Amino acid sequence: MNLRRVWVQCIKELVEFRRDRLTVALAFVLPLGMLLIFGLAIRLQIKNIPVAVQDFDRSPFSRDFVSRLGATGELVVVPEPLGPSPTAILDAGDVRAVIVIPPGTQRALAAGRPAPIQSLVDATDVVNALTIKQILTAACAFAGAAYGPPAAPPTVVMHVRIWFNPGGNEALFIVPGVYAVILAMYPTILAAIAMVRDKERGTIVQAYASRLRASELIAGKCLALECIGLAEALAIMAIGFAVWGVRFAGDPLPLLIGTPLLVCCQVLLGLFIGARTNTVTSAIQAAGSINSLLSVLLSGFMYPVFAMPAFFQWLSFVIPTRHFINITRDAFVRGAGWPGVWTEVLALACIAAVLAVAAWLPLRRMQMTD
């Protein structure tokens, strides 16, 4: 490999990028905009779910019970007229559950007779449904002890402590994940376009005709896009610090090594896609939709990988974002450093190596395909 030719290819790529002012602006403004929207708007924590209560009992107990339901902020209680049937209320779609407190519940409780609280829960959203169930169960246990016969003292008292993010600040969970998603998306697309555009315009023939080797072509393009990707990484991490105060929790070295590796993986993936497709449209489809959906959804950005079926857990091992997300979350939230994440850094390096070969194979002859 001739380093000078690599360098020239890299400069050519950067010049081409810089000449397109709008693309330069987009390549930096879009990630920042995305970071802001994701960081400010995405909330997985369930909050303010509307539930309707039909209170037929109208007793101190029922009022206490209803205020208990809304106490955690997860549910918002909407008083409902007693006329319509629960099914009709749920079908109208304005609330996620209908809770019915039958008449005489307080008296039944005081006498120690069973007093069921009926509820119809919209299970379309399963997480919602289970959360509502948890809150109902807890409220019943609480109100039952207050208004019913005294319960026996508990055998076990559990003290739950949540580490690293005791306030449950969701930005701390979301923002480091968004870093990974953004870096999975934009460098890949830019790389795919950089590769396939030459083909579509026919200028790749000149590269084929020159003494440039496939490895040099790839290395040059990769170097140029690596610079762009790292600049993007720097920009979004600076914003993350400025807006949400996301800062290093421990040893920053794994992140400093992991970030260039991830960008390298994504750029090589983009070059590979560009090398395998013939038109910008199809390269974009592949790089944009498939890659971004998979790296958003199979990386553990939103839902934990360990909750997926075994096959997908295996599949997720080849997705670079999955490893990088563990690195960013460790660097910014947990702070364990190398012992926790050395495997992830290693995995990224392996994926990069495989992708480099994959991108090189279709180009190795440096010939037109028929």
Partner 1 sequence: MLLRKEFIQILGNRQVLYILLFPPIVQVTILGYAMNPLVKHLVFAVVDESKSPASRQLIDAFTANGVFIPQGGGDTAAGVYAAVQSGKVDAGLVIPADYAQAVARGAPGDVQLVFDGVNSFIANLGAGYANLIVQAYNARGEPAAPLSPQITFAYNPGLVTAWFFVPGLLGAILLITGLLASASGSVREKDEGTLEQLLMTPASSLEVLLAKIGPLFVLFLIALLASLAVSRVLFGLPFRGDAFLFMGISSIYIVAGISIGILISTFASTQQQVVLISIFTALPLMMLSGAFAPIESMPPFWQTLSLINPLRHYITIVRDILLKGAGIGVIWPDVLALTAFAVLAIWISAARYRSQLR
Tokens representing 132? 């509502």
Residue whose CB is less far from partner 1, 152 or 242: 152
Site for partner 1 in 37-66 (CB under 8 A): 37-38, 40-50
Contacting partner 1 (CB under 8 A), which of 109, 184, 265, 351? Answer: 109
Residue whose CB is less far from partner 1, 5 or 64: 64
CA distance 94 to 50: 8
CB of 238 to partner 1, least distance (A): 20
Tokens representing 277? 């497709």
Complete edge-to-edge strand list for the sheet that includes strand 75-79? 75-79, 49-55, 97-101
CA distance 34 to 239: 11
Side-chain half-sphere exposure of 125, counting CA atoms within 13 A: 11
Residue 254 as a binder of partner 1 (CB under 8 A): the answer is: no
Residue whose CB is less far from partner 1, 102 or 213: 102
Residue-by-residue DSSP string for 17-77: HHH-HHHHHHHHHHHHHHHHHHHHH---S---EEEEEEESS-SHHHHHHHHHHTTTSSEEE
Residue whose CB is less far from partner 1, 294 or 366: 294
Site for partner 1 in 324-343 (CB under 8 A): 326, 329-330, 333-334, 336, 339-341
Site for partner 1 in 217-236 (CB under 8 A): none
Residue whose CB is less far from partner 1, 213 or 315: 315
List the one residue out of 144, 62, 52, 141 whose CA is nearest residue 95.
52
Site for partner 1 in 260-279 (CB under 8 A): 277-279
CA distance 95 to 105: 24
Site for partner 1 in 142-181 (CB under 8 A): 143-144, 147-149, 151-166, 168-170, 172-173
Residue 303 as a binder of partner 1 (CB under 8 A): the answer is: yes
CB of 360 to partner 1, least distance (A): 21
CB of 109 to partner 1, least distance (A): 6
Residue 9 as a binder of partner 1 (CB under 8 A): the answer is: no
Contacting partner 1 (CB under 8 A), which of 82, 234, 302, 357? Answer: 302
Residue 243 as a binder of partner 1 (CB under 8 A): the answer is: no
Q: Where are the alpha helices (DSSP H) in 245-290?
A: 253-276, 280-284
Binding-site size for partner 1 (CB under 8 A) equals: 124
Sequence-distant (≥ 6) Cβ neighbours of residue 222 within 8 angstroms: 191, 264, 267, 268, 271, 356
Residue whose CB is less far from partner 1, 266 or 292: 292
Residue 114 as a binder of partner 1 (CB under 8 A): the answer is: yes
Using an 8 Å Cβ cutoff, are 104 and 55 in contact?
Answer: no
Contacting partner 1 (CB under 8 A), which of 3, 116, 210, 231? Answer: 116
Tell me the backbone φ, ψ of residue 52, rounded to 5 degrees.
-100, 140
Contacting partner 1 (CB under 8 A), which of 117, 222, 319, 348? Answer: 117
